[in-house]
Structure 1
Amino acid sequence: MSAALCLSALGGAVLAALPGPAFTLSWTHSVEKTEWREEWRIADGRLVLTEARVKGSGAGMEPPDGARLADGWWVWTPAVPPLERVVLAASIFTPDHELCAGQECRPLHGWIGGPVPSPLELKPCA
């Protein structure tokens, strides 16, 4: 069976299970109003951040040393160990996070079919 990504209220029931093993998470920075994207994959029951990109720089989103500019995006491979989960918080100042999985992209509320709890937990399904 292929890995799947589960979306749930923090410590709560699973709200949606998305096809895996890879997904893209994107959002708009609340101050700079600039898009940020992260490429993730599920490996050995953990979330692995394989690439980050940001469409600009400024207030808390400076690209690190070694980042390269490609088609208007700063792109790099973050030095983040595999994670058991990622916790997202919603902001009233920005649109919903967008998540792409299984060749389909939707705002988070589109994956769970209703309001997004804050915080929301992303983790490999058990």
Structure 2
Amino acid sequence: MSMLGVCLALAASGSTVPPVFVPAERFTLAWTHSIEKVRWEEDYAVVPSSASGEPPVLQALAARVRGSAAGMEPPDDAVLRNGWYGYTPRMWSPQGLRLTRSPFADDYTWCIQGRCEPMARWLPSDGGITLLTPCTEAATPR
């Protein structure tokens, strides 16, 4: 069986940067809003598809936001604990995420098993969109 993880790729057509496979069945994606300076964290799991032969699925497990700000209010069902509004995301099984990465804002932070690093450790930013999709090591384009 192939190892589950996430494939990261730059969305720009004609990009010469190859996609990258990151082995991680569970991870946290975090960022700080560039204007409001509010920290967000989302926990995800990569799980096998229920259909044989289909690619894995990305499940949003939990999310936290460190306060609220204009246009960034936590959902109505969020619960405040220790300065964080925690909630369960409504989008349960997205097939992937489109992450906007800008040279004018801090990069996303990627945490696996408690170790956190900027996303640029795995894939440089081109100042545009980075695609994050659930995948297997065997499915990573070379």
TM range (shorter): 0.7 to 0.9
- What TM-score does the superposition give when structure 2 sets the normalisation length? 0.78
1:91–1:66 distance in 2 versus 1, CA, 3 Å: same
Distance, in Å, in 1 between the alignment partners of 2:104 and 2:83 is: 24
Structure 2: 5+ residue stretches without partners: 50-55
1:60–1:93 distance in 2 versus 1, CA, 3 Å: farther
RMSD of aligned C-alpha atoms?
A: 1.8
* Aligned ranges 1:1-126 → 2 under 5 Å: 1-10=2-11, 14-43=18-47, 44=49, 45-112=56-123, 115-117=124-126, 118-125=128-135, 126=139
Structure 1: 5+ residue stretches without partners: none
- What TM-score does the superposition give when structure 1 sets the normalisation length? 0.87
66-75 vs 9-18, greater mean Cα deviation: 9-18
5-14 vs 35-44, greater mean Cα deviation: 5-14
Please say which structure displays the higher CA radius of gyration: 2
76-85 vs 92-101, greater mean Cα deviation: 92-101
* Structure 1 moving runs of 4+ over 6 Å: none
How many pairs are equivalent?
124
1:36-91 per-residue CA deviation (whole Å, 9 max, x = no partner) reads 10001112211111111100101221111121111110000011131111010113
Distance, in Å, in 2 between the alignment partners of 1:57 and 1:102 is: 27
